Amino acid sequence: MKANTQKDRVLRPGQVRGANSSVVLEMLRQNESLSRAELARITGLSEGTVSRIVAELIGRKFVMEDGIENSTGGRPSTRLRLEQNRYAVGVDIRTWETRFAVGTMRGTTMETASMRTPSDPKATISMIAEQYAGYRNQFGKDRLEGLGISVRGIVDSRTGIVELGSDPKWVKIPVKQQLEAELKVPVYVENNVRAAALAEYTYGDSGTHNSRCLLFVAVEEGIGIGIVLDGKLYNGPRMAGGEFGQMVIKDSEGPERYDRPGCLEKLASNIALCGRYTALTKGKSSPPSGSVTSLVRLICHRAMEGDEAAKKALKITMRYLGIGIANVVWGLDADMVIVSGSINLAWPLVAQEILDQFPESVQTVTRSTLVLRPSASGDEATLLGAATLAFNNMFAAERRVRR
């Protein structure tokens, strides 16, 4: 058994070529443009190897030459960059709305659309197929890399089956199988929080790429955490990795074994924040639309303006959120935490309360080295992550080899 395990770790010639190609693609994604000589220096590959890889990637229309840089006496070098006319379609399925985007390999969104989500999963899948067919006609079949879809709930990304969605009708829905059969293109399906975590990691700065354990904390009506370990999404053996919303952080009596009163979602979600604020104001403050998200935005704006009820509600809620995050950081030794949600409108207050749940930096290295920041992509992280799924396999080999 041990011999087989070691054997599995050996990269065969084809895998080596694929890994090296992924290295070159990743470097070009992190940089606007590079020459062949710069790629060789950065990656440690020989110039001959880089030239062969680049020639293949240009032939596959993943990389393009982008002019000659000015010479300082030696032979002028040709600049290389990722092909700008290579796209993927991302779809973010929400309860009331399904969003579409056409994205590039560098994370630029070319076009977006939004449609009402049908009540029936089959009708939703048909709508997605029709929209993709329209993009295929618009952008060209050969320029679309594939289709990525994010869904709320338990998603098996290996099979593309939505095992248990947020809507009761979304149970055991074979999204990947049905769309691939109809469209004849690669389809990738992922949980919405993990897709957003992928986007933050993929298009983040060098500090983000250097993170060994990144936590993406999505605070909405529930709480989900996407985990990126050594550059790779962690799904868990049953595709439920990151479901820390059920983590109990406050003991409470009662028979509940799911959605306990003391679990993180019950104490630190948007619903919890709104409930505290409504109680403190005796129900006198509510947004015109009456939605949870709108009320959270209102609370954050008022808290930043000094409103005492808003500040108190936010402080209590963020204290629980901070305790939950601290528990996960301790357990996984995470070095970066990215928070997403409307609560980021009051980020100075939110960040301070979260950090206050960690020991002082003189007592442990955890706080002194932890990077805590708001999401750079905001509400678009999930949609951007969905589009990124189609490109991700091209870059995944590089991350495994690099680590």
Residue 403 pLDDT exceeds 50: no
Sheet containing 187-191, strands listed edge to edge, beginning at the edge strand earlier in sequence: 109-116, 97-104, 87-93, 144-151, 187-191
Rounded distance between C-alpha atoms, residue 197 and residue 217, angstroms = 8
Average pLDDT rounded to a whole number, residues 374-399: 82
Assigned token pair, 150: 């994010």
231-277 tens-digit pLDDT: 889 999 988 888 899 999 988 887 877 778 899 999 999 999 999 99
What is the CATH code of the structural domain delimited by 87-199+382-402? 3.30.420.40
pLDDT above 50: residue 55: yes
Distance of CA 299 to the CA centre of its chain: 26
The pTM of the full predicted model, rounded to 2 decimals, is 0.86
pLDDT value of residue 10: 39
The CATH topology of domain 8-82 is Arc Repressor Mutant, subunit A (1.10.10)
Find where tokens 């354990």 sit: 213
363 confidence band (pLDDT: 50, 70, 90) = low
In the chain, list all ranges with CATH 1.10.10.10: 8-82
Instruction: State the pLDDT at residue 279.
Output: 94
**Domain covering 205-376 in this structure, CATH number:** 3.30.420.40
Report the percentage of the chain scoring pLDDT > 90.
65
Residue 286: its pLDDT value, please?
61
| pLDDT of 75 above 70 | no
Structure tokens belonging to residue 97: 């709305």
Cα–Cα distance between 173 and 290 in angstroms, integer? Answer: 32
Q: Is 100 a residue whose pLDDT tops 50?
A: yes
Torsional class of 345: left (φ above 0), alpha (ψ -120 to 50), beta (otherwise):
alpha
Alpha carbons 200 and 371: distance in angstroms, whole number: 14
Q: Where is pLDDT greater, at 66 or 75? A: 66
- 400, pLDDT greater than 50: no
32: Cα within 13 Å, side-chain hemisphere: 1
Query: Greater confidence, 68 or 355?
Result: 355
Average pLDDT of the chain is: 87
What's the average model confidence in pLDDT over 301-328? 97
Q: Where in the chain is the domain with CATH 3.30.420.40?
A: 87-199+382-402, 205-376
The mean per-residue pLDDT over the stretch 93-99 comes to 94
Half-sphere exposure of 13 (CA within 13 A, CB side): 0
DSSP string, 74-117: S---EEEEE-TT-EEEEEEE-SSEEEEEEEETTS-EEEEEEEEP
Mean pLDDT of 297-323: 97
Please return the burial class of 2, using the count of CB atoms within 10 Å of its CB with bins 0-12, 13-18 and 19+.
exposed
Mean per-residue pLDDT for 94-119?
93
**Of the candidates 326, 329, 273, the residue with the CA atom closest to the CA atom of residue 302:** 273
pLDDT for 158 equals 93
* Sign of the alpha-carbon dihedral angle for 387, 389, 395, 399: positive
List, for residues 143-155, the tens digit of each pLDDT value: 998 999 999 999 9
- Cα separation, 101 vs 248, in Å, equals 37
pLDDT on residue 289: 58
